[in-house]
Every structure is written in C-alpha cells, then in structure tokens.
Chains A and B, each alone.
Chain A
Amino acid sequence: MSALVQVRDLARDYSMGSGPVHALRGVSFDVEQGEWVAIVGPSGCGKSTLLNLLGAVDSPDAGSLTIAGERVDRLDDRAATTFRLRRIGFVFQRFYLMPALTAAENIELPMAEARIVRTERRARVQELLGYVGLAGRADHRPSQLSGGEQQRVAIARALANKPALLLADEPTGELDAATGLEMIDLFRRLNRDGTTIVVVTHDAQMAAAAARRIQMRDGAIIAEAVT
C-alpha cells in the first residue's frame, strides 16, 4: 500500500528584492497513514513553506506532491480549496479563530462550507468539543477563552470534516509550558485514534512526542529520526 503523503523533489523559490530565495531545494519524503511526523529546524529553514505546500495553500515550483492519491501540486485554486476543505485540517500557532463567532460556530464553519446538514453539524460540534475537553464552552467567544482553550477549539475546527491529514504549525508556540504539555497529550490522543499528523515545531517536547522527526536546514532535509 502506498504512503498517504508522497513528497518528491519538492522545490519552492520566492523572489525577494535581493534576488530569488530558495525556500525548498528538492525535498522528498513519505508520511504513512496514521503516522505522526514532526518537522524541526531553525527559523527560515523552509519548515513553514513545506507545511504550506502540504496544505495546498501554496504551489511548488518543481517536484510532485501526492496526498491520499491526489496530485496536490497540479490542483488549480478551486480544486485546492475543496481539497483543503475535505482532506486537510490546519492548526496555527496563533489559533486564528473567528473572533466574532462562538467556539461552536468556529468549529461549525468548515462543515457549513462543506454543505453538511445543520443537525449533523451540531452533533459533530458537540462530539468534537467533548473530544477536546471543552463541552461546556460551546457558546464562548475566543476572547472569553484561554490560549490553550482557543487552541483546542482550533484543533476541533481542523478535525471538523474528518481530514486525511492534520497539519500543525507551531501549535504550542503561543502557550505556556503546562498548557503546551496538555496540547502534546491531545495530539498524542489524536494520533492514537488514527489521525495522521505533520507538525512543524521548535518545541523539543512536541518533537520528541512524534513518532518521526525530519530535520531541515536551508530548505533541505538533513536528517530523519524515528522514535
């Protein structure tokens, strides 16, 4: 059986004032179904660029990217949007919840976009809130939640449409140490329950919790380690 994620010679350049910047220089790796991979490396090494490509919010200049059997690098904007909605869950460092919506509405948002019927949406919201331990916070707005709680809502939102792949960009970056550990526990539980996770992190504990670590520098993979 082929890997869930197949990255082959992926390259991405950016044009800056001083000339092109090679953010990714031909990266290749696979991620198996149910695997938890941490991508680590110093700032500017290309981690976030790689994550954006995996999440189909950016397009590579060269190479191929296949996720769940679909050539993501060949998707046009509309197809990429649908792909993100149905197959990818995103978790951001700064949570990025919609401040005007309640926790429940934030989780509901991707499902509403996917045209899931209201009753089913509501049931799924309750299920997810319970899963991330926020059953009593459904009607709270982001400003009424702590950082850890906001990140849990963000994770619930990412899981709303049962994605094939969960991508997380520094998910503990804005949290204190204790809350960060809680978040690692949640990711661990998610992975145990079958979610495939790729996480970009500086957090050594988060990286250590992952089954596999990919070390990057200057847009290239320099090492891989399996726990």
Chain B
Amino acid sequence: MPFRLALLALLRHKARTMLALLGIAVSAALLLDMVMLATGMRDNFQGFLLLRGYQLRVAPKGTLPFDSDATIDSAATLVAAIARVSGVVAVSPVLGAQSQTTAHDSTVTAFTLGIDPRVQGDYELLRGADLADSVSIVANERWLALTRHRLGDTVQLAVGYDPQLRTVVGQRAFIVRGVARFFYTGTTQPTIAMRLPVLQEMGGNARRDHVSLLMVKAGDDVDVEAVRARIQAAGARVSVISLEGATAQVEQRLAYFRQLALVLGSISLGVGILLVTTLITIGVNERAGEIAVMRAIGVAKRSIVTQVVTEGLLLSGVGAFSGLLIGLVTAQWLERILADFPGMPATFRFFVFQPHDAGLALGMLGSAGVLAGIYPAWRASSLPIAGTLRREAVA
C-alpha cells in the first residue's frame, strides 16, 4: 500500500512530476557521464598501455616514453641485459624519428617507428604483409591518404632532415607492404614503421644503436613490480615505468577531468537532492490533512515514512534509469567532441561504460532519493494529528 500511495501521490501532479523526472534524468545522465569520465579514463589508459601485454616501459632517465627527444644508447646491450632479467618474457625496442617523403610537390612528414616485428606492440596489421625484410614499411591510412600511395608502391624516405641546410642523414627506397592501425598515435598523425636496425642506420650516428623506448613483458605469474625493480637495478641510465607508475603520472596530469567530474557530479547530485526534497516536502504539506487522517485511523509512523521515502526513491529511481539511457547517448556525443583532440590515439576512449559505473551512479542517486525523502518523511510522520485535522477543517 505505501508503494501505491507514493505512486498515486506522484501521479496526482503529472506536470511537476514529469518536469522533476526530466531534471533528475538529465542530472543522472551527467552524473553517469562524469563517473564514466573519472573511472573510464584510468581503466582505459591501463588497457591502452596493455594492448599487447607489455606491462613495463623503459625510457631515458627522468622522462616519460616519447616525452622528449632523449634516447637510450647501447640499446642492443641493454635489451640483452633486460631479456636476461628473471621474469622477463619479451623485450620490444622502439625508436622514434621523423621521416619525410615527397608526394605531389609536397613533403609529408611522418612519425616513424623502428621496431622488431617479432615482438612489436605498437600496431595491428589491417591488410597486406608485415615487415618481412629491410625494405618493407607498414603505414597507417593517414599516411597513405597524404602520400597517395598504395600497397606495393615503392617510396623514397628520408630521415634526419635539416631544414636549414636541406640535407638528410639517410635516404632509402622502401616498399609499402602493409596497412596498420597504430595504437599510440593519433588518427590524423601520418605514421609508418620499419625494422629497427634500418631506422637506426638511416639516423646516422645520433641513432645508431639507440632506442627511444623499450617495452617489456613479464610472465603472467610473475610479480611485475619485482621485475621492474630488477630492471631498474640493472640499468641506472633508464627509468623503468610500470603500468601503475605511468597511470599515476598520467592521472596527475589528467586531474582536471577528475576534478571536473567530481564538481559537476556533486552539483548534479546536490541539486537533484534539493529538488526532490522540495517537491516531496511541498507534496507532504499539501497532503497534511490526508496524512493526519491516515495517522488517526491507525496508520503507523513507519508506514508514513515508508510512503514518503518511497516517493523520493520512485522519483530518483525512474529519473536515474531514464538518465542512464540519456547518459549513454550524451557520452557518445562528448566522446566524439574529445576525440577531435589533436594527436589523440584512435584506441583511446574517454568514456567507457562499465556496469560498475552504472551501479555507482544508480547507487548514488538511490541514496540521494532516500536522503531527499528523509526530511519530508520526518515532517509527515511528526504532524500533530488533532491540530492538523483542526487546521484542515478550518481551511
């Protein structure tokens, strides 16, 4: 009966109930989006780094991967040393450089990766063949579009271009063997990959036996942090960054989003609670006579409290469920906006829906609904019966 009475009380004023539901639904949508933004980015970033299962990154001392021009020298020795570290199952060296190619009177500058195709963790091949030999390259769609090349084409690539002297350090012909999707570069960034020794050779002395980054995979049953410590002990001139370390550093830089999410989520929740409280309090005031009569005929305080809190829960519950649907749609919209960030990797998602997020948002709104019902419920249950009936009779 309390549920039915609560439902009927809400249906009695359809316009105000619908408006409140709309407001709560939109607030719930915003809350869900902000929860998705706050937790999704972190989880997504971890998944983003773990795309090929490499849990550790080895970068030049004091830098983040590709955060500076700095490189690691004597790379072959370091790779061999790290491969010997207990618990390490694979080491993937990566060298980054800019390469130029001329296409139709313009020069296309591409971010170029030198990798070992047996252990590479930077791209997935979409079509064509991988880097079978030293004349092969794989490229992303953007590079192909800008250079207007196709699979099988032969291209001239230059590395170490000096714009002032118009000289290059190395220049060679390559065959475009494959089309790939690169995980860590933006979709608008033209990107290619070739075998590591080839890029090192083309880079001249500055690149010979140098790498920008090593990605390290530890065994599944191994303590990754222990492996990280062992590698760090083996290489004093590098920084070994674990997933947690990288996440912590990025999280520090992405603090804005968490704070934005926290502020907007809290405001949504706070305003929602205020609205539901106001709505139900006014409803209780309007029905003071009815409530007094119910108490007079023997309806317990507990039942009145249940009825009023149920009203709050119904409002916030229905609003929250509608809000979840709206939230998923608005998250797509916001994702499309943020995906336009220059250099944003295609694999990165800001908004990741997880049942846990929906549960958290629903839980917060449910608690908000109960919270919102407490004050009016207290008012309703503590109405003086005789006095209220007398006032109602006079009115």
A interface residues (Cβ-Cβ under 8 A, vs B): 48-49, 52, 55, 57-58, 77-78, 81-86, 88-90, 92-94, 96, 98-101, 105, 108-110, 112-114, 157-158, 161
Contact = CB atoms under 8 A, between A and B. Distances in A.
A57 B4 CA distance: 25
Contacts of B295: 57, 81
Contacts of A57: 295-296, 385-386, 389
Top 9 A-B residue pairs of the complex, sorted by shortest distance between their CB atoms: A85-B298, A100-B8, A84-B298, A96-B293, A57-B385, A112-B1, A52-B386, A58-B386, A113-B299
Interface string B3-21: 0110011011000000000
A139 B307 CA distance: 22
B301 interface: yes
Interface of B: 1, 4-5, 8-9, 11-12, 289-290, 293-301, 303, 385-386, 389-390, 392-393
B139 to A, nearest CB: 69
A99 B291 CA distance: 12
A109 B386 contact: no
Given A58-B385, A86-B298, A113-B303, 7 more contacts: A49-B386, A77-B301, A84-B296, A85-B300, A93-B393, A100-B8, A101-B5
B8 A88 contact: no
Q: Is the interface of B mostly helix, strand, loop or mixed?
A: helix
Nearest to B300: A81
A90 B297 contact: yes
A219 to B, nearest CB: 15
A94 B5 CA distance: 20
Given A57-B385, A58-B385, A58-B386, A96 B290 contact: yes
B395 to A, nearest CB: 10
B385 A85 contact: no
Contacts of A109: 1, 294, 297, 299
Contacts of A105: 4
A77 B295 CA distance: 10
Contact of A113 (B1, B8, B389, B393): B1
